[in-house]
Amino acid sequence: MKYQIIYGSRYNATRQNVLWIKERLELEDFEVELSNLKYAKVSQDCEFLILATGIYSGQAVEGFNDFIKENEDIISSKKIVLLATAMNKENCFDEEKNLKIIKELPLSVKEKIVLQEVLFGEMIFKTMSKEDKVSIDYFYKNIMHLEGEALEKMLMPRTLLDKKDVWEFSQKIINLS
């Protein structure tokens, strides 16, 4: 069984999650090809395609949806696992318990999704782009109305990355094989 993982990651939390998935699948002797979204070409000979993206302000990483639309024909010929990485899982799902980012995908791709999940990420304010820093700062100050120690705590580096959770999700993928 051959898997291809195509991921988009702005600050490498999604990358870390897919590396752990790759590691777990390879322990079962599956062949796994890992491709960064920026350089990816969908493999003709993989049976499963794992599409992974970081979620930023409720949206997939830049280029994720365009990549899927540009490669719709070949992507829709695969079994698809859709994975998101975020700091807040609940905000990533709609009322029907589907990932909100699914609504942006072509119908032919949506119909091939066999598994979807959100795994936790991390937020390290220091490594963020100026645009992301401004957005996060605005969110915490003006929407959450945080200040002082509460604001400082939210801006401290924090991670929710969890290899155990990723391996448990990987087992769900293995069970589909």
**In this predicted model, what pLDDT tens digit does every residue of 40-73 receive, in sequence order?**
999 999 999 999 999 988 899 999 999 999 999 9
Query: Cα(171)–Cα(177) distance, rounded to whole angstroms?
Result: 10
Residue extents of the structural domains in the chain: 2-121+160-176, 123-157
CATH ID of 2-121+160-176, from 1.20.1050.10, 2.60.120.10, 1.10.10.10, 3.40.50.360 = 3.40.50.360
Q: Would you put residue 58 in left (φ > 0), alpha (ψ -120 to 50) or beta? A: left
Phi, psi of 73 (to 5 degrees): -60, -50
**In this predicted model, what pLDDT tens digit does every residue of 5-25 receive, in sequence order?**
999 999 999 999 999 999 999
Query: Cα(12)–Cα(80) distance, rounded to whole angstroms?
Result: 22
Which sign, positive or negative, has the C-alpha torsion 71, 117, 173, 16?
A: positive
**In this predicted model, what pLDDT tens digit does every residue of 73-117 receive, in sequence order?**
999 999 999 999 999 888 899 888 889 999 999 999 999 999 999
Q: What is the pTM of this model?
A: 0.91
> DSSP state, 99?
B
